[in-house]
Structures are given as structure tokens and as C-alpha cells.
Amino acid sequence: MLRAALIGFGSTGKTTLFQLMTSSRDVPRGGHGKSDATIGVSKVPDARLDRLTAMYNPRKRVPATVEFGDIAAPAQGGGASALVDVVAYKNADALVHVVRAFRDPTIAHPPGSIDPARDARAMEDELILADLGVAERRLERLERDLKKARSPELERERDVLTLCRAALEEGRPLRALDLAGEDLKRLRGFQFLSAKPLLLVLNLDEADLAGGIEGAIERAGLGAFPSQASTAAVAICAKIELEIAQLEPADAAAFLADLGLRDSGLDRVIRASYDLLGYLSFFTVGEDECRAWSIPRGTTAQVAAGEIHSDIARGFIRAEVVGYEPLVARGTMAACREHGEVRLEGKEYVVQDGDVINFRFAT
């Protein structure tokens, strides 16, 4: 399951976005401890799963899911260090930074004015400072250990962390570093916050929708952020979209159309998260269940089988694979077999977005 952690300064609408993404209506405000978070799960909208469910009429329809974690907002100016020990943030695949652009005189914004670019940079600085503290403490321990005994592995870790510390001291997030292979693995245990992919969610005023949501990122001064490594941005109006989400589907679609929106904020944030992390969905279908599964791009068939159950991966024999489009066009798996569109793939086959797979395995 893809895991995302919401971050943001006070009065940005972070809790409203959490409610929108997870269909939670009673999110506790305040009272978060340092090591706990409010956790919610979002069902990933996917028209392909809807179509497959209509075809198979299964007893159960199970969409892919994304887990969102939310804790109290850090204070602007040194507050992000509190996130370092929060399990939901350390284990997150990506950070979702909610940036305020809406104007409401009844809701005070801590800096005293609305400036999305300033706030986005300030949060980045907070993450960098938090990571710098972690890197410096680890380097101090490494130097002590290396004075006692030489270790090539610890020396390489020291070299990588020294590189990281230099970048952080220059104000650069670790996601901007071109680390790979063993060096990247060495850093995973630290769960550096600035190394995680970052999605900026610009929380608009309802009046801003009239100018077109496509250009909202540039108008807010955030246009340079999506061009940075492992960074993306999407704009929504969380307050109005939360109201829309509580309507019947037909009414919600009409409301979105009136606002000039082709899809919901939930759809846009989920799609941006998938694109940022390089995720895709494959499907398993049958009379019992139609289900969507989320995996990173480049995942092999045997690893994908393990997402369903470890026994399937362990006893993997072959994967019967057909694309979503041919299956929908033919109407049945049998018809696809007759036309040679069902393939038998081995454990090293790289799963593609939209694959419908039946795993053969022996226990």
C-alpha cells in the first residue's frame, strides 16, 4: 500500500484535505502526541475497476488504497524536527505538503499573510534542518566508532552522510541528490524527510477556481517547484471539494462541471501521487472478487504476486496476463484466449499498468 504523510503549517486546510482524501468526518483536532498520528485510508478511484466489476458482477469489489497520516501542524521556524520521530512520517513513501492560498479573515494564518511560495520554501527549510540534525548526530557516532576500529562499510556510510550534510548545509533537499544502489540503501534506515518525494497541494479559495485550476500553480508563484527532483504540485479547493464529496454522484458531477473541473480533488491528488512515485495498478478478477493492486513501476510478476499473498510468490509458476483494453473489448477471458491475447509470463515479467493477471502457483 502506498503511504503518504500530510504536512503543513497551521491554518492551511490540512485537516480538511485529510477528511476529503479519507472520507473521515470526525478527525480529532489537537491532542496529537509526538509519536502518534491520525491515520486514514483513501480508496483509489479507477474507472477500469468499475468496468471490470460490471463485467464480472463479483461478490466483492476492492479498490486500491492509499494510507494518509496526519499530525498536528509544526510551528513555523524549527517545528519540523518534531516530525522526525513520528512513525507515520518515517514510514511514508511521500510527503504531501498542504500550502494555503485561500483567503479567510476569520482564520488567521501564522505568518500574517498569504504567500504560498514563501510557505513552501519555509517547510522545505524545516525538513532540511531536521535532516541536518539527524545526519550530524550519526556522523559524530561514526567518527567515534572509526577511531576504535577501521571498517570499510562504516567509512562508506560516513562518506555518503558527509555528502548529504554538505547538501543540507547548502539548503538543498536530499531528494535532489543523485544517489543510487548501495549508497541509497545506506540512507533508507535514516528515513530522511527531505529525501522523500514531495507533493505540494495548493489549497485554493473558491473564487480562484474561476481563473482555471490548470494555471493556479503558476499564479501562486509555485511554478518552479514541480521542475525539481521528485517534486510535483496540484491545486484543489479542499473546502468546496469536501462539500461536493458529500453529494450524490450525479449531483457531485454536475457541481464539478459548474466549477469547470473535469475531475475531483481526490482524483487529482491520487493521480499526482501515483505519477510522483511511479506507481501503477494491475487487476485480479473473478466471480468472488474484482480487485485493484498498487505497485511501483518496474515490479516483476513474482513480486506482484507477493502483494496478494506470500504463498503465491513462493510457489509462483506462471502468470496469465491480458491487457485491460483487450479484455473489455472481447468481453471474456475465454474470448481473449481464442484470439491469442492471453500470455503466459514468467517470474521476471515486468507488470504493466492495466494488466489483468491470474497467478498460477503451487503450495
Per-residue confidence of the chain (363 residues) as pLDDT tens digits? 889 999 988 889 999 999 999 986 555 444 444 445 789 999 998 999 999 999 999 999 999 999 998 876 665 554 555 555 566 677 899 999 999 999 988 888 877 889 999 999 999 999 999 999 999 999 999 999 999 998 999 999 999 999 999 999 999 999 999 888 888 888 888 889 999 999 999 999 988 887 777 789 999 999 999 889 999 999 999 999 999 988 998 998 898 888 888 888 888 999 999 989 999 999 999 999 999 999 999 999 999 999 999 999 999 999 999 999 999 999 999 999 999 999 999 999 999 999 999 999 998
Residue 355, classed as helix, strand or coil, is: strand
**For the domain 2-45+63-113+196-277, what is the CATH code?**
3.40.50.300
Chain centroid to Cα 5, Å, comes to 8
| DSSP state for residue 227 in the 8-state scheme | G
Residues 6+ apart with CB under 8 A from 294: 1, 2, 44, 64, 65, 66, 274, 279, 280, 281
The grid coordinates listed for 65 are 488504497
Which residues face 203 on adjacent strands? Answer: 100, 236
Specify whether domain 125-194 bears CATH 3.40.720.10. Answer: no
Euclidean distance between CA atoms 252 and 110, whole angstroms: 33
DSSP string, 208-223: GGGG-GGGHHHHTT-T
CB burial readout 277-316, b (16+ within 10 A) else e = bebbbbbbbeeeebbbbbbeeebbbbbbbbbeeeebbeeb
pLDDT of residue 31: 41
The grid coordinates listed for 181 are 544502489
What is each CA distance from 108 to 12, 185, 239, 295, in whole angstroms?
Answer: 10, 42, 16, 40
pLDDT of residue 152: 92
Q: Is the Cβ–Cβ distance between 168 and 208 less than 8 Å?
A: no
N-term to C-term CA, the chain: 25
Euclidean distance between CA atoms 330 and 264, whole angstroms: 31
pLDDT of residue 35: 45
State the Cα angle at 296 between 323 and 50, rounded to 5°.
45
Decide if 2-45+63-113+196-277 and 298-361 have a common fold: no
DSSP string, 71-83: -PPPPTTTGGGGG
Alpha helices in 23-74 (DSSP H): 47-56
pLDDT of residue 34: 44
- Architecture, CATH, for domain 298-361: Roll (3.10)
- Could you tell me the residue ranges of all domains in the chain? 2-45+63-113+196-277, 125-194, 298-361
Euclidean distance between CA atoms 288 and 112, whole angstroms: 55
